[in-house]
Amino acid sequence: MMGLVLAPAMVASLATCLATVPLFAVNPFTEPVGVVHYLFVGAVLFTAGIACMTLKRNALGILMGIELVLNGANINFVAFASPYLRAEGAPTLGLDGQVVALFVILLAAAEAAVALAITLNFYNNHATVDVDRADDLKG
């Protein structure tokens, strides 16, 4: 069930990202691996995360989508900060990207703890983790 939903999400996101390829000035598939390729992977992950959050009704699935979004961003940070992926003499960010990535991981863990606690509570009250049932804040 999960795979059934996730797969089209992944496909859709990949397709979306591929659709942006003509916007680039060079062909990524013929270029050596550089920052753009990492960004591409990050974008796929990010889009997949968004799709997951949007489409899944299971609270745990939504949490997974959040992890995907965060890690998509993390890849971008790390890619921009990596010394191997830039030209000689280009201005550097030093280790900032890695530090922020670690920070994001930390925050993701904390957020997951809180979110899981909320989910558990919700389950205790409603005997389900279906977020569509969690519409008490409806206007």
Partner 1 sequence: MDLESLLPTLLGLAWLLPLASFALILFAGPRLGDHGKGAAGVATAAIVGSFVLSLLALVSWVAEHPVHAVAHDDHGGAHASADGSADGSADGSADGSADGSADGSAGSPDSHDAPSSHGSESAHQTVDEGAGHVGQPVSYSGDWYTLYEGGRLRLTIGWYVDALTVLMFVMITFIATCIHVYASGYMHDELHDITDHEVHLADGSHLHRPGRFHRFFQALSLFCFSMLGIVIAGNLAMVFIFWELVGICSWFLIGFYYERKSASNAANKAFIVNRIGDFGMLIGLMALWGALGTLHFADSTGLDGHARLGLFSLVRPPEAGHAQWVPDGMVKFAAAEKVKAVLRSHPEDPRAGVEQVEAKVEDWRDEGYGRWLLLVAGLGIFCGCIGKSAQFPLFVWLPDAMEGPTPVSALVHSATMVAAGVYLVGRFYPVLTPDALLVIAYVGAITLFIAATIALVANDIKRVLAYSTVSQLGYMMLALGVGGWLAGLFHLVTHAFFKSLLFLCSGSVIHACHTNDMRKMGGLAKVMPWTSGTMLVGCLAIIGAGVPFLDIGLSGYYSKDSILAQALLFARENPSHSILFYAVAGGAMLTAFYMFRLWFMTFAGQPRDHHVHEHAHESPPVMVYPLVALSVLAVVAGWTLPGGFGIANMIDQARPAGTGGTELGGLLFRAFTVPAEHASHAPDIHVTASLTAFATAASGVLLAAAMYVWRVIPPAAVAAAAKPLYTFLANRWYFDEIYRFLFVLPVLGMSRLVSATDTGVIDKFIEGLAWGAKQVAGFDAWLDRTFIDGFVNGTANATWHAGLELKKLQTGQLRQYVMFIALGTVAIFVLAGLLLHSSFAG
Residues of this chain that bind partner 1 (CB under 8 A): 50, 53-57, 62, 131-132, 134-139
- Residue carrying the six token digits 């606690």: 117
CB of 130 to partner 1, least distance (A): 10
In the bound state with partner 1, the residue whose beta carbon lies nearer, of 88 and 135, is 135
CA 9 to chain centre: 13
CB of 62 to partner 1, least distance (A): 7
In the bound state with partner 1, the residue whose beta carbon lies nearer, of 26 and 137, is 137
CB of 82 to partner 1, least distance (A): 26
In the bound state with partner 1, the residue whose beta carbon lies nearer, of 93 and 131, is 131
In the bound state with partner 1, the residue whose beta carbon lies nearer, of 40 and 56, is 56
CB of 84 to partner 1, least distance (A): 30
C-alpha to C-alpha distance for 41 and 91, rounded to whole angstroms:
23
Q: Where are the alpha helices (DSSP H) in 20-95?
A: 35-55, 59-81
Q: CB pairs under 8 A, 24+ apart, for 61-68? A: 61/2, 61/5, 62/131, 63/112, 63/115, 63/116, 63/119, 66/108, 66/111, 66/115, 67/108, 67/112
CB of 33 to partner 1, least distance (A): 26
CA distances for 44 relative to 1, 82, 86, 139, angstroms: 22, 20, 22, 34
In the bound state with partner 1, the residue whose beta carbon lies nearer, of 6 and 81, is 6
